[in-house]
Amino acid sequence: MSFSRDDFTVSSEQTLWKGFFEVVDVSLRHRLFDGGWSGDIRRVVARRRQAVGVLIYDPALDALAVAEQFRVGALARNPSPWLMELIAGLMEAGESPEDVAHRESQEEAGVTLRALEKVASYYSSPGGSDEYFHLYCGCADLSAAAGVHGLAEENEDIRLHVLPVNDVLAMMDDGRIDNAHSLVALNWFARHHNRLRDLWR
């Protein structure tokens, strides 16, 4: 049995807060795998714009761009809430995911992408958020990219590291890179590394 959008009903929906994103209180019922319907279910959902991430690779250096920045959702993280992650940003009205990948690469790494390959699109954390994430791997010259980037008007303070591929994969394996989008991208990249190096060199 496969379900469709006809197999749930929303009885009420109330906005609890609206700012950078929206928090909504939803009451609903849905069909059950063994037949019949669930009881009333109440959930709080964070509604966000779609987001885009890009793992930037320089085949000449055989190196990756890794962005280091403060993340409020990681306040309890040890040793600190500064995470090592890929370049990412939210989609604006009228933009395609590819547009955002190119824009964010300029804003957060100061580089122009020469090529772009789709990795995946997926829900980031569908148990409580509707965020849909588009993930790419991009090719760029990273020889002069290391340094501090970001938009002052968005309070961005991003230190970009340009590191050998093997060093970044080791950071993934030992837990120094510990955020989902970066892990998805790096696991994909590890399988496609040789192909991309040959294709983009």
Q: What is the DSSP letter of 110?
A: -
Q: Which of 131, 144, 176 is nearest to 65 (CA)?
A: 144
Catalytic residue among 22, 68, 107, 154: 154
The tokens describing 45, both together, are 């959902």
Q: Return the H-helix or E-strand segment holding 187.
A: helix 180-200
**Both tokens of residue 196?**
């991309």
Strand, helix or coil at 94? coil
Tell me which amino acid residue 165 is. V
Separation of alpha carbons 159 and 150, rounded Å: 9
> What span, in angstroms and rounded, lies between the C-alpha atoms of 182 and 174?
14
Q: Report the DSSP beta bridge partners of residue 37.
A: 31
131 is catalytic: no
161: Cα separation from own chain's centroid: 18
At residue 30, what are phi and psi to the nearest 5 degrees?
A: -145, 160
Active centre residues (catalytic): 154
